A and B are shown apart, each in its own frame.
Chain A
Amino acid sequence: MIEFLQQLINGISLGAIYALIALGYTMVYGVLRFINFAHSDVFMLGAFVGYYAVKKLGVPVGGLAGGLLVLCLAMSICAIVGILIERLAYRPLRSRPTLSVLITAIGVSLLLQNLGQSVFGANPKAFPRLFPETNLHLGQLSITSNQLLVIAVSLVLLAGLHFIVHRTKTGTAMRALSFNATASSLVGINNDRIISFTFGLGSALAGAGGILYAMNYPSIDPLMGTMPGLKAFVAAVLGGVGSLPGAALGGLLIGLIETFVAGTGWSTYRDAVAFAILILILLLRPAGLLGKSRSDKV
């Protein structure tokens, strides 16, 4: 039972990170209908912004304020990078077939990874301690403060996202655009601006995810985004691509399933599990758990 609770907490904190990344995939899919492969590398970039903020800029960490400052810095820089990627690589292809955009996104992803290897170096780096760390003991249950922090920060960010999407004008415009781009431009929405905003928002969440991930898996490298990115993508499909609550739920489920599989004798297959789920969900319920099936336009 203790074992189970322990895994549950581990799974939730991993799932929270997947959820943050998955939201970016799903939001971009909502407004542009394509898979932004470079998203996982923006996540990687978030971790490296954190690393350099501490190592090179000397942001004082170890207290709550310094850690939060690093988090905000990573989110802002990732947002800017996300907006630039869309602007330079995706926007010129707006009227082209999805396949072209998809391939470009793969190109951007590879470019970021390889630039990362050449600029940051290919060797894994130890991620600095951002927040004070303690272990909380509840009976035999052991929770690290980082795990709690991951869950708390994710919850705050999810609440913030919910507020933006449902209570602000720009958020309403995002939902309008994801329903129909023609209709949204006819009410005076500048679709390009909303798409930029969406990329910024999604990339900021990915940046936060990168920091939180690095805090719990304390070594980072330029290829670190690939696996969590793919799993977060599966999470987005599991929840129903385009659905924000779906992405959050999917992330949580993938995190939990992966943690429980890792805890059994099948631990070497933990990376394959997410893809097995992907194929199952596509077979059984392609619209995802919370997604609505969308009929193709004639």
Chain B
Amino acid sequence: MVEIRNLTVAYGAVTALHKISLTVNAGEIVTLIGGNGAGKSTTLRAISGLIRPRSGKIMYQGTDVTGVPAHELVARGLSHCPEGRLVFANLTVDENLRLGAYLQRDRKRIAEELDFVLTLFPRLSERTTQLAGTLSGGEQQMLAIARALMSQPRCLLLDEPSLGIAPLLVKSIFDQIVALNRTRGLTILLVEQNANLALEISHRGYVLETGRIILSDHAAALRSNPDVQEAYLGA
């Protein structure tokens, strides 16, 4: 569904990604793991069109989408739930969610989707008229995911969903991610600090180190790889 070939991204003089290549097949959950500054978020930002790569190709559903702006990719079913949540703090929860379906014109489908995400995250349904900025960190994360789902994506790029959230909540968010993948066939590319948790729900994984992919394998194999265990799984 998503295929990256020899992607190089640079911020000014600093190269963030060196010729990385990776593939995410339809229906998969794929995890990118790596330390701080390894280039995980940059990879997602490049795929979703937020930054232009210096060189390399990004394919989405078989077509070249390198350089296509972010808002057009949303229309093609690619949704990016960014790091740091970025919910619209000045808008209500309801407005945030409806903006997620900005490109959807069919009111009925918007209503259906709204019902769906609110059953997924019932906490949000109690807070629809509240300003998003007044939500707790965990609730903002749920809102960000729910908003990303409102566009009815076929592929979801999910950046650090567990960051700064109580462990109990993390569990419930991850359960929902798996459920989306199973019931809707949603393809997910996940970036996660908590590599243990991420690999548990993923099919495959890639390990990024200072802008290069150093390892890729099935999730189970990565979890039993002693190097990965030592570096990222805290074993």
Contact = CB atoms under 8 A, between A and B. Distances in A.
Contacts, number: 66
A189 interface: yes
Interface string B70-98: 11001100011110001111110001001
A176 interface: yes
Nearest to A166: B95
A186 B150 CA distance: 12
B74 A186 contact: yes
A179 B69 CA distance: 19
A182 B86 CA distance: 8
18 contacts: A169-B102, A172-B99, A173-B102, A175-B91, A178-B90, A179-B89, A179-B90, A180-B86, A182-B50, A182-B86, A183-B86, A184-B99, A186-B50, A186-B80, A186-B82, A186-B86, A187-B150, A189-B99
A187 B147 contact: yes
A190 interface: yes
A173 B82 CA distance: 18
Contacts of B95: 172, 175
B70 A186 contact: yes
Interface in A154-192: 169, 172-173, 175-176, 178-180, 182-191
A31 to B, nearest CB: 13
B37 to A, nearest CB: 15
Contacts of A179: 88-91
Indicate the member of A175, A182, A187, A191 with the most B CB atoms within 10 Å: A187
Contacts of A180: 86, 88
B48 interface: yes
Given A186-B79, A187-B147, 11 more contacts: A169-B98, A169-B102, A175-B88, A175-B90, A179-B90, A179-B91, A180-B86, A182-B82, A183-B82, A186-B50, A188-B75
B211 interface: no
Contacts of B48: 186
B86 A176 contact: no
B151 interface: yes
B75 A183 contact: no
B86 A188 contact: no
B102 A189 contact: yes
Give the size range of A's interface with the partner: 10 to 19
Contacts of B98: 169, 172
B34 interface: no
Contact of B151 (A175, A178, A185, A188): A188
B100 interface: yes
B103 interface: yes
Nearest to B48: A186
Interface string B93-113: 001001110110000000000
A60 to B, nearest CB: 41
Nearest to A185: B70
Interface of B: 48-50, 69-71, 74-75, 79-82, 86-91, 95, 98-100, 102-103, 147-148, 150-151
Given A169-B102, A173-B99, A175-B91, A190 B71 contact: yes
A254 to B, nearest CB: 25
B151 A187 contact: yes
Contacts of A178: 90
Contacts of A172: 91, 95, 98-99
Contacts of B82: 182-183, 186
A189 B151 CA distance: 11
A184 B99 CA distance: 8
A185 B79 CA distance: 10
A38 to B, nearest CB: 27
A187 B110 CA distance: 14
Nearest to A242: B90
Contacts of A173: 99, 102
A291 to B, nearest CB: 12
Contact of A188 (B50, B81, B89, B103): B103
A185 B90 contact: no
B90 A187 contact: no
Contact of A185 (B69, B81, B89): B69
Given A187-B100, A188-B102, A189-B102, A176 B71 contact: no
A117 B76 CA distance: 50
A187 B71 CA distance: 7
Contacts of B80: 186
Contacts of A184: 88, 99
A185 B71 contact: yes
Contacts of A191: 71
Interface in A176-231: 176, 178-180, 182-191
A178 B99 CA distance: 14
A241 to B, nearest CB: 15
A185 B91 CA distance: 16
